[in-house]
């Protein structure tokens, strides 16, 4: 807009000056001196008016440009302020995210600690040897410790651990299994009389337990070691009669055939 104003003003000024230069000659030829002077004065007034209008337009354009620059500067400052605020809020969000993550980690640690303490004191439901029962943590720990001794072939210490377990937890859900493994540990230690007694207790107290047929077969083996063939035969006959479909009964039939 400013350029168009300047161009128009410049063109107007140049045209006016050219006419002013030519006017005296033409005016002198057509009019008298007074009329020529009046025409020149009017022409100059028109030139001055055009110049003033041009100056006013230029001033207005400069003011408009200054206002535009001020507006752009203010907008730029506002944009920078918004950017700074966004950066501050982003930093706060990142800090909050780190704090939330740390709180979640601490909560998990606390929960894990609580769960571990509960596991150490609360009974738990387990499945063992076809039976489902509840055991205390220390009860399970003692049973597992006795089993570890047996697996290591430390039969004497294992038998002692099983006997201690029966005294400490007489009503334990592990009782039938403990009697079975106690009899096996005693047999391996050549304590045959004790082995017979342990397996007999299992057969008497837990006739439906899955270990009972095997215990009766092991009891017959101990009686053979004790040179008591009659007792061994009677035990095998009871085994075959009570648990005819068991693997232990199949082995018992073979041994009965050899005893007769």
Question: Among all chains, which residue has been given the structure tokens 């609580």?
Answer: 114
DSSP string for 33-65: HHHHHHHHHHHHHHHHHHHHHHHHHHHHHHHHH
Say whether both 13 and 84 belong to one domain: yes
Tens-digit pLDDT profile for residues 67-89? 888 888 888 888 988 888 888 88
Q: Distance between CA atoms of 182 and 202, rounded to whole angstroms?
A: 10
Binned at pLDDT 50, 70 and 90, residue 39 comes out as: confident
Where would I find the beta strands (DSSP E) of the chain? 124-128, 131-135
Tens-digit pLDDT profile for residues 203-243? 999 999 999 999 999 999 999 999 999 999 999 999 999 99
185 falls within a domain: yes
- Write out the two tokens for 166: 């029966």
36 falls within a domain: yes
59 falls within a domain: yes
108 falls within a domain: no
109 falls within a domain: no
**Nearest to 182, CA basis, from 214, 156, 207:** 156
Beta bridge partners, 134, equal 125
Say whether both 130 and 82 belong to one domain: no
The boundaries of the domain holding residue 36 are: 2-96
End-of-domain residue from the set 54, 80, 96: 96
Residue 1 DSSP one-character state? -
Q: Distance between CA atoms of 236 and 246, rounded to whole angstroms?
A: 12
Query: According to the model, what pLDDT value does residue 32 have?
Result: 65
pTM given for the model = 0.57
106 falls within a domain: no
In this structure, what CATH number is given to the domain that contains residue 247?
1.25.40.10
When divided into structural domains, the chain yields a total of 2
pLDDT surpassing 60 at residue 2: no
172 falls within a domain: yes
113 falls within a domain: no
Per-chain mean pLDDT for the chain: 85
pLDDT surpassing 80 at residue 133: yes
């Amino acid at each position: 807009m400013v350029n168009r104003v300047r161009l128009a003003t410049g063109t107007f000024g140049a045209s006016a000056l050219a006419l002013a230069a030519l006017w005296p000659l033409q005016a002198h030829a057509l009019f008298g001196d007074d009329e020529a002077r009046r025409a020149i004065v009017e022409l100059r007034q028109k030139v001055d008016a055009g110049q003033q209008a041009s100056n006013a337009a230029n001033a207005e354009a400069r003011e408009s440009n200054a206002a535009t620059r001020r507006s752009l500067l203010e907008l730029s400052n506002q944009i920078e302020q918004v950017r700074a605020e966004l950066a501050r809020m982003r930093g706060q969000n990142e800090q909050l995210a780190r704090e939330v993550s740390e709180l979640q980690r601490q909560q998990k640690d606390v929960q894990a600690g609580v769960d571990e303490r509960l596991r150490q004191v609360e009974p738990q439901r387990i499945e063992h040897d076809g039976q489902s029962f509840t055991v205390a943590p220390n009860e399970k720990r003692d049973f597992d410790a006795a089993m570890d001794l047996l697996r290591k072939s430390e039969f004497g210490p294992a038998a002692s651990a099983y006997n201690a377990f029966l005294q400490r937890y007489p009503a334990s859900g592990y009782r039938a299994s403990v009697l079975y493994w106690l009899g096996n540990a005693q047999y391996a230690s050549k304590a045959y009389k004790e082995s017979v007694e342990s397996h007999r207790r299992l057969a008497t107290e837990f006739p439906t337990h899955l270990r009972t047929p095997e215990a009766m077969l092991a009891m017959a083996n101990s009686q053979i070691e004790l040179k008591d063939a009659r007792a061994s035969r009677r035990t095998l006959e009871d085994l075959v009669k009570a648990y005819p479909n068991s693997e232990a009964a199949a082995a018992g039939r073979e041994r009965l055939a050899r005893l007769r």
